[in-house]
Structure 1
Amino acid sequence: MRDSPLGSYLADPVFTAAVFVAVFVGIYLIARSTAEPLIKRILDDRGVDRHARRPLMRITRFLVVFVAFGTAFAAAGFGSILTSLATIAAAATLAIGLATQNVIRNFVSGVFIYTERPFKTDDWIEWEDGTYSGVVEDISLRVTRVRTFDNELLTVPNSSLTENVVKNPVDGDRLRLKFVFGIGYEDDIAEATGIIVEEAEAHDGILNDPAPSVRVTELADSYVGLQSRIWISDPSRSDFVKSRSEYIENVKNRFDEEGIEMPFPQRDLSGVVETREPGLDAE
C-alpha cells in the first residue's frame, strides 16, 4: 500500500491526521444521530423510568465515540478496524484498571442499583444505620445524589449504597409505624389501649386494614410501655412525619382528657445531711 498513490498520501502525517479527524467526526455525527434516537425509542417502548435512562444514554454515547475512534484509526492506515478496536480497548482497559479502580467499582455498583432496583429517584432512603437519609434526586453511573431533609445535597458513591444496608421505607404501597406510649402503673391498660386504637381509627391517614394494634412491651421504672402499631398507605417521608405527629398529639390530648398519666422518669435521693456551726472544728 505504501507504493500506491494512496499509500504515499497516508505516509504524509498531515494527510493522515486530516483523514483521522474527518472520519472520526463523520462517523460520530452519523452514529449519534441514529443511535441515540433509536435507544430513546427502545427505552420509551419498554417504559424505562428516568433514573435508568441517564446511565444508558451515557453508555450509548461512550460506545459511539469508541466506534468512531476505532473506525478513524483504521481509516488513517493504522490497521484494520477490528485490530484498531481491539488495540484501543486493550489500552483503555489497562489504563482504566490501574488509574480508576474506585470509579470502576462505583460504576459496577451503579449497574447493580439499576438491575436490582433497591431504590429509585424520588424514594426516601436511609443508610449506615440511619446516619444518613434523604430523597434520591439522581442516580448516575458513579454516584447517587440524595437531598437531605435539611435541603443539603449529598453526593454518595454508588459502592457505599451497595456495600451497606439501605433502608427504603417507601418501596411498598404500605408502611407500618410504631410508637411507644408510656402510662402510669396505676392507670388502666385496657382503657389506654382503647384510646390508642380509637385515635388511630379516627385518623384519615391511617389504614383500618391492617387494623391498628397495641401491645404491652415495657415495664419500665416509671411507666408501662404500650406500643402502637399503625399502617399508612402510599408512604412518603412527609406522610410519615405528618401522620405520626398528628396521631401522637391526638392520643396525648385524649389521655389528658381521661386523666391518664404519661409519667416521666423520677429519681429518689436518700442520705444523711450534717450541719455544723461556723468556727467549730470537728474533733
Structure 2
Amino acid sequence: MYQGLLSLASAPPAQLVPPGAVDGIAGEPYAEIVRAVSGFAIAAIATYAVGRLLVLPAVVRVVVARNRNNPTIETAVQTYFHAFVILLALVAGIAGAGFGRLLTDLSIVAAALTLVVGASSQQVVGSLVSGLFLVADPDFNVGDWIAWPGGEGVVEAVDFRVTRVRTPNNETVTVPNTELTANTLTRPYGRQRYRVDEVVDVAYGDDAELALRELVEVARGDDRILEEPDPTARLVSFEGSSVRLRAEFWVGDPMDVDLVTLKSDFRRRVKSRFDEVGLTLGPPSGHELSGELSVDVEDDASAAGGRGSADGADGDAIDPDDR
C-alpha cells in the first residue's frame, strides 16, 4: 500500500491525467467552432444555390410572362430578388451555425434593424424606394430614351440607388433614382413616331408662299420621313428683318433613325433649293442707329484760291528757279 502511494507521489504530473483527456478538453472549443462554421457554410450555400438556381429563374419567368410590355421588370426582379436570396442565405447560415435563438429574439432583431436604418442615409433609402417606383412604372423601361432637367439619353439599367443612362455622346451617366422621380420626366420617343420641327427665316422681300411649298417638297423627297401624316410648313412669326417659317414632318421609331443626320441633310437640301429658286435664307439683320451726324463742307473755289495764294498771287505755280 505504501509502495503504491510512494509510486503515485513520485510519478510525473502528466501521468496523473488519463491519456487523451487533455486532447479532449483542449479540442472541444475548436470542435464547436468547426461545427458552427461548417453548419453556417452548408446552410448558407444550400439556401443560396436553391434560391439562385431554381427559385429566381422561376420567379423571373412568371413576372415577365405577366408583364411582357415592361422589359425593365426582368432586370429589376433579378437584382432585388438576388439580394433577397443573399439575405435569406445569411439567415439560414446563422441558424445552421446553431445561433437560431438569436433570430427569435425580437429585441435583438429590432436593434439590428434600427442600426441598419440609422446607418443608412436618407438619400440612399429614398433612392431605393424610388427605384421600386421606377420599376413598377410601365412607361419607364430599359431601352427608352428619356429626358429630364439634368440631361437625356437611353436607359441601360435600374439599380438599387441609381439609374444608368447612355447619353448621345456615348457616355454612361449614373442618375440618382430620386432625381428621376422628383423631377419631370419626358419620353420624347415613346410613341413609335416623332415629329421634327425645323425653323427657317426668309427675307421680307421674298415670296413666303413659295418658301412654304419648297419646304414641304424638300421634306417629301426624303425616304426617312413618313408620308402619313403629310409634311407641312407654317408661317410662325414676323421677326425684325425676316419672316419665320417652320417645317413639320414625322419620322418612324426615333431609336432606329439618326435624327442628327436627318436634320443636317434636311437643312442642306433646303439651302440648295432656296439658292436655286432665288430665296434669301436667313437675311442679315439691320441695326438702327440713333444720334447726330455733322459734316463740314468747304467751298471748292475758295479752297482752290487759298491754295493758289499760298504759292502765288494769281494762283499759278512758281518755278523754283525764279525764287
Asked if Structure 1 and Structure 2 have the same fold, meaning a TM-score greater than 0.5 normalized by the shorter chain, the answer is yes
Q: How does 1:117-128 map to 2 (within 5 A)?
A: 117-128=138-149
Name the CA shift for 1:173/1:225 in 2 (closer, same or farther; >3 Å). same
Q: Which has the larger radius of gyration?
A: 2
Residue 278 of structure 1 corresponds to none
1:78 to 100, 108, 121: 100
Q: In structure 2, how many angstroms separate the alpha carbons of the residues matched to 1:235 and 1:86?
A: 56
Aligned to 2:152, the other structure's residue is in SS state strand
Q: In structure 2, how many angstroms separate the alpha carbons of the residues matched to 1:86 and 1:65?
A: 23
Name the CA shift for 1:234/1:274 in 2 (closer, same or farther; >3 Å). same
1:223 to 236, 242, 251: 242
* CA apart distance, 1:222: 0.8
Residue 162 of structure 2 corresponds to 143
2:289 to 257, 260, 269: 269
C-alpha offsets along residues 71-100 of structure 1, whole Å, 9 cap, x if unaligned?
34344143286x369964772365135423
Q: In structure 1, how many angstroms separate the alpha carbons of the residues matched to 2:162 and 2:131?
A: 7
Q: In structure 1, how many angstroms separate the alpha carbons of the residues matched to 2:216 and 2:145?
A: 28
Please tell me the residue identity of whatever aligns with 1:19.
G
**Of 239-248 and 152-161, the range deviating more from structure 2:** 239-248
* CA apart distance, 1:55: 2.3
Does the 8 Å contact 1:218/1:225 carry over to 2?
yes
Does the 8 Å contact 1:119/1:171 carry over to 2?
no
* CA apart distance, 1:190: 1.2
Residue 218 of structure 2 corresponds to 199
Does the 8 Å contact 1:214/1:228 carry over to 2?
yes
* CA apart distance, 1:249: 1.7
Residue 314 of structure 2 corresponds to none
**Of 14-23 and 159-168, the range deviating more from structure 2:** 14-23
Q: In structure 1, how many angstroms separate the alpha carbons of the residues matched to 2:110 and 2:191?
A: 42
Q: How does 1:13-32 map to 2 (within 5 A)?
A: 14=33, 15-32=35-52
Does the 8 Å contact 1:74/1:84 carry over to 2?
no
> Is residue 153 from structure 1 mapped to residue 172 from structure 2 by the alignment?
yes
Q: In structure 2, how many angstroms separate the alpha carbons of the residues matched to 1:225 and 1:178?
A: 13
Please tell me the residue identity of whatever aligns with 1:168.
R
Name the CA shift for 1:50/1:143 in 2 (closer, same or farther; >3 Å). same
Q: In structure 1, how many angstroms separate the alpha carbons of the residues matched to 2:266 and 2:89?
A: 62
Please tell me the residue identity of whatever aligns with 1:78.
G
Please tell me the residue identity of whatever aligns with 1:223.
S
Please tell me the residue identity of whatever aligns with 1:20.
F
Residue 176 of structure 1 corresponds to 195
Q: In structure 2, how many angstroms separate the alpha carbons of the residues matched to 1:97 and 1:25?
A: 29
Name the CA shift for 1:137/1:68 in 2 (closer, same or farther; >3 Å). closer
TM-score (norm 2): 0.71
Does the 8 Å contact 2:60/2:77 carry over to 1?
no
* CA apart distance, 1:70: 2.6
Please tell me the residue identity of whatever aligns with 2:187.
N
* CA apart distance, 1:274: 7.5
Does the 8 Å contact 2:131/2:159 carry over to 1?
yes
* CA apart distance, 1:172: 1.0
Q: Gaps spanning 5+ residues in structure 2: where?
A: 1-27, 297-323
Q: In structure 2, how many angstroms separate the alpha carbons of the residues matched to 1:171 and 1:99?
A: 36
Does the 8 Å contact 2:148/2:186 carry over to 1?
yes
Residue 301 of structure 2 corresponds to none
C-alpha offsets along residues 185-237 of structure 1, whole Å, 9 cap, x if unaligned?
11112111111111112221112211222222111111011122111111138
C-alpha offsets along residues 230-271 of structure 1, whole Å, 9 cap, x if unaligned?
111111385322222222221221111111112132324354
Percent identity of equivalent pairs:
32
> Is residue 69 from structure 1 mapped to residue 69 from structure 2 by the alignment?
no
**How large is the Cα RMSD of the aligned pairs?**
3.0
Q: In structure 1, how many angstroms separate the alpha carbons of the residues matched to 2:147 and 2:197?
A: 17
**Of 118-127 and 221-230, the range deviating more from structure 2:** 118-127
2:263 to 244, 251, 254: 244
Q: In structure 2, how many angstroms separate the alpha carbons of the residues matched to 1:33 and 1:84?
A: 31
Q: In structure 1, how many angstroms separate the alpha carbons of the residues matched to 2:106 and 2:62?
A: 26
> Is residue 42 from structure 1 mapped to residue 53 from structure 2 by the alignment?
no
**Of 111-120 and 191-200, the range deviating more from structure 2:** 111-120
1:186 to 195, 200, 205: 205
1:95 to 99, 102, 116: 116
1:54 to 64, 72, 75: 75
